[in-house]
Amino acid sequence: MKSPRQPTGHQRFSRRKLLTLGSGASAAALLAACSAQQSATTPAAYPDFQPTLESLNNLELRDITVGFVPITCASPIVNAAAMNIFQLYGLNVSLRRYTGWAELWTAFVAGELDASLFLSPMPMAIHHGFASGQRNIRQPFITNTNGNGITVAKRLAHKVHGPQDFAGLRLGLPFDYSMHNLLARDYLLTGGLDPQQDVDLRIMRPADMVTALAVGELDAFCLPDQFNQRAVAEGVGFIHVLTKDLWHEHPCCSFAVAEDFAAAYPNTYTALLRAIGDSALYIDDPNHRAQTASLMAQSAFLGLPEPVLTAVLTGNFADGTGKQHSIPDRIGFQPYPHESYGVWMLDALQRWDLTGGQQFTTASEYSTAVSDVFDADSATAVLNALGATTTERASETVLGATFDPTNPAAWSQQL
Amino acid sequence: MTTSSQMRHRRGTRDRQAHRLKAFIGFVVCFAAIIGIWQLVTTGYDDGGLAPTPAASWQRLIEVLSTALVYNPPNDFGIVFHLLASLQRLAVGFVLAAVAAIPLGLVLGTNRVLHDALDPIIQVLRPVSPLAWLPVGLALLRDSEATAIFVIFMASLWIILINTIDGVYRVNPLYLDLAKTLEATWANRTFKVILPATLPGIVTGLRTALSTAWLVIVAAEMIVGNRGMGTFVWNEWNAMNINSIIVAIVIIGVVGLVLDRSIALLHRLIPTT
């Protein structure tokens, strides 16, 4: 069949001409795009990473699946995969992404995962059986300190200035066993509120909360900084407070492995700690933050808009009220698991009735419950070799009051 | 005559009683078997209660029922208030859907042209999972309560509509011819002939729609809302209380059964033709 409308010679000529013109004009841009894409898909294009420690040659196991939730807290683990640091330490790690913490908890206890990112309070809850699902666990690293905030809907900008202003508001939280839940509740306490009675606390998927804030389904949320920054970028909220200002260098997420895994594959365990420790300290360096942000923004890793991730990692950000900030320690990557962290979390879990009825009273009960889970020895061996800090802290300053890990109960009475 | 019919009646009652007894014994045996298999499967795990055992779930059921009437807003509600919230959403969404779908179904059932014009749209929208409407509802309505009701509405609408249209098609043509012969008015034809004759179809539609809507509300509430059976399941999962999920499953199932049976009673109210 003949097409009813054949292009005339003139039309055909002009079309070809147009094509030639177009290809000439965009050739440079096309080439540039190609090369950019190439470097993005081959992380080896960052040859500047030299492993600080030796890789072990007697690994019992090389292929490991590590669980994570795509948030900035996972940076040391994700960066170790993105920059091939795991491979440099002889490991073949595949990352498995989870969208919620309950799924991850279930997968870990069911034995589908042996190593994973966790919210810092989760390993203690899993080890001591505070809720459904128990598995013995070792928690060697805190993957990040700080790096979270409370964002409030823009429409409440004139109303919310301090913790006392959250009365009657709907506050989104990611999980019961999270620092967000524990810190936000104590923050509300400092405003004279009873978080159970005066505030509508809602557990939601972090990914749903920016939308929920936008449509007026939530009034505020306490989440990792990428969501706070996302809400600012979308113009729906403003950053009310960074958790860094509630507790400077507070723990947030952590890396932990099953006890049976660490016992069966001790060298593999050490290699994992070397790779993640090396990666954490590399991205802790302010000079590496922008590069890390662009690498991890890819969909294979965190899958976030790069400007949002850059604002979080470099600490140069807009807070949504028109103010611009430069806070380099907005998020930190010093992995040592301080016992003071564990004692504070345990005390908070107990105060909010999240220990499944288990009671901890004496300082030694607290200390034992924490050191059963925190693997400070393994962390110290790796971090000393990397030149990172491993000194225990005698006290923490949380919400303006001194927290003494040898007398945890005294802190909440000061609030 | 009377005695023989009485005897037949008595024999029928006896048969029915025997049947009921057999069915009840069968139920008890099956129920025990399910609990036994459940127990066997879960005792194999040493996971600190991740897989809930029958005993732990029973204990949790007692706990949940003993705090069923707690009303301590905004964060602490007993199961009764979760249930009431879900039922209320269900009722509103379901009634709205029925009010929209039944008249539309009657119109489309009697008007071929209109039916054929709208049929492609209905057939495309009908198989879409009601939950897919949730983000759209939230974006348009900007309110979680309204969105949950909207999802119920979408879940029920098509089922009631299609069953109503189908019901109209099944009306005995004799009735319509008779109505025409008697020169019945439009109103008389619709309300005195078509509507009563279509009732069985409508009730079937309502019954199917209600169980679908109950299925959907629990899923929808896991994403929106601060009270309801879905919210209860979601919160208990995030607190890693897996035993509570079993309790919720039992309650949701029993309520679903009661809903289905109560709407089935409507069938009995319909005069048989």
* DSSP states of B97-114: HHHHHHHHHHHHHH-HHH
Q: What is the CATH number of the domain that holds A121?
A: 3.40.190.10
- Is residue B47 within 8 angstroms of chain A, CB to CB? yes
Are A131 and B144 in contact (CB < 8 Å)?
Answer: no
* Residue A153 resides in a domain: yes
pLDDT value at residue B272: 59
Does the beta-carbon distance from A109 to B50 stay under 8 Å?
Answer: yes
Mean model confidence pLDDT for chain A: 89
Q: Are residues A237 and A268 in the same domain?
A: no
Query: Which comes out higher in pLDDT, residue A308 or A299?
Result: A308
CA distance B160 to B150: 15
Residues in CB range of A220: below 8 A, 6 or more apart: A150, A151, A152, A153, A156, A160, A166, A169, A170, A171, A172, A213, A237, A240
Contact across the interface for A170 and B226, Cβ inside 8 Å: yes
| Cβ(B166)–Cβ(B115) below 8 Å | no
CB atoms within 10 A of CB A135: 22
Which residue of chain A is at minimal alpha-carbon distance from B241? A132
Q: Are residues B188 and B126 in the same domain?
A: yes
B156 and B21 share one domain: no
A105 — contact with chain B (CB < 8 Å)? yes
Q: Which residues of B touch A201 (CB under 8 A)?
A: 74-75
Q: Is A222 a domain residue?
A: yes
- A65 at B interface, C-beta within 8 A: no
Of A133, A196, A208, the CB nearest to B240: A133
Task: Specify whether the CB–CB gap between B52 and A132 falls below 8 A.
Answer: yes
Q: Which one of B136, B240, B243 makes the best mutation probe of the A interface by having the most chain A beta carbons within 10 Å?
A: B240
What the block records as the tokens of B164 is: 């109503």
pLDDT at B144 over 80: yes
Are both B248 and B170 inside the same structural domain?
Answer: yes
- Asked if B177 and B90 sit in the same domain, the reply is yes
Q: Give the mean model confidence (pLDDT) for residues A71-76.
A: 94
Confidence at residue A314, expressed as pLDDT on a 0 to 100 scale: 95
A306 within some domain: yes
Q: Are residues B150 and B91 in the same domain?
A: yes
B59 occurs within a structural domain: no
Contacts of B42 in chain A (CB under 8 A): none
Question: Does A286 share its domain with A360?
Answer: yes
Mean pLDDT of B137-150: 88
Residues of A in contact with B142 (CB under 8 A): 215-217
* Residue B98 included in any domain: yes
For residue A216, the enclosing domain spans: 148-245
Task: Judge: B49–A132 Cβ closer than 8 Å, yes or no.
Answer: yes
pLDDT band per the 50, 70, 90 thresholds, residue B180: confident
A356-361 LR contacts (CB < 8 Å, sep 24+): A356/A129, A356/A130, A356/A131, A358/A128, A358/A130, A361/A409
Residue pLDDT, tens place only, A373-403: 999 999 999 999 999 999 999 999 999 999 9
Question: How far is it, in rounded angstroms, from Cα B245 to Cα B228?
Answer: 14
Report the amino acid identity of residue B173. P
Residues A236, A99 share a domain: no
- The mean pLDDT of A289-302, rounded to a whole number, is 90
Q: Do the chains contact at A176 and B239, CB–CB below 8 Å?
A: yes
Cβ B197 vs Cβ B175: under 8 Å: yes
| Residues in chain A within 8 Å Cβ distance of B49 | 129, 132-134
Residues B18 and B77 placed together within one structural domain of the fold? no
Total count of domains within chain A = 2
Whether residue B119 lies within 8 A of chain A, CB to CB, comes out as: no
Check whether residue A94 and residue A233 sit in a common domain. Answer: no
Q: In chain A, which residues have their Cβ closer than 8 Å to the Cβ of B75?
A: 196-197, 199-201
Whether residue B51 lies inside any domain: the answer is: no
Q: Please report whether residue A2 resides in a domain.
A: no
Last residue of a domain, one of A229, A245, A261: A245
Q: Which positions in chain A touch B235 (Cβ < 8 Å)?
A: 203
Domain check: are B144 and B215 in the same one? yes
Name the band, by pLDDT with cuts 50, 70 and 90, for residue B2.
low
Same domain, A258 and A392: yes
Q: Which of B42, B50, B60 to mutate to test the interface with A (most CBs of A within 10 A)?
A: B50
**In a domain? residue B14:** yes
Asked if B212 is an interface residue toward chain A (Cβ–Cβ < 8 A), one would say no
Query: Of A304, A333, A166, which is closest to residue A240 (Cα–Cα)?
Result: A166
Question: Which residues in chain A have their CB less than 8 angstroms from residue B237's CB?
Answer: 102
- Whether B47 sits inside 8 A of A135 (CB atoms) is yes
Looking at residue A46, what is its pLDDT?
55
The pLDDT score that the predictor gives to residue B243 is 92
State whether A279 and A361 are in the same domain.
yes
d(CA A67, CA A191): 37
Indicate the average pLDDT of chain B: 89
Same-domain pairing of A131 and A198: no
| A82 and A301 Cβ atoms separated by less than 8 Å | yes
Residue A9 has pLDDT above 80, yes or no: no
- Binning pLDDT at 50, 70 and 90, where does residue B271 land? low
CATH number at residue B105: 1.10.3720.10
What residue numbers bound the domain in which B177 lies?
A: 66-269
Q: Residues of A with CB below 8 A from B47's CB?
A: 109-110, 133-135
Residues A139 and A170 in one domain: no
What residues 322-361 of chain A have any CB closer than 8 A to a CB of chain B? 354
Q: Check if the beta carbon of residue B191 is closer than 8 Å to that of residue B240.
A: no
- Long-range contacts, B41-48 (Cβ 8 Å, 24+): B47/A109, B47/A110, B47/A133, B47/A134, B47/A135, B48/A109, B48/A129, B48/A132, B48/A133, B48/A134, B48/A135
Considering the domain architecture, whether residues A196 and A270 belong to the same structural domain is answered as no
Number of structural domains in chain B: 2
- Between CA B203 and CA B265 the distance in angstroms is 10
B125 within domain boundaries: yes
Residue B49 lies inside a defined structural domain of this protein: no
| Closest chain A C-alpha to B62 CA, distance in angstroms | 17
B157 in a domain, yes or no? yes
Q: SS in 3 state form for B157-208? A: HHHHHHHHHHHHHCCCHHHHHHHHHCCCCHHHHHHHHHHHHHHHHHHHHHHH
CA–CA distances in Å: residue B7 to residues B2, B14, B18, B19, B20: 9, 10, 16, 18, 20
What is the Cα B68 distance to its own chain's centre? 23
Question: Would you say residue B106 has pLDDT above 80?
Answer: yes
- Asked if residue B57 belongs to a domain, the reply is no
| Chain A contact set for B48 (CB, 8 A) | 109, 129, 132-135
A36 pLDDT above the threshold of 60: no
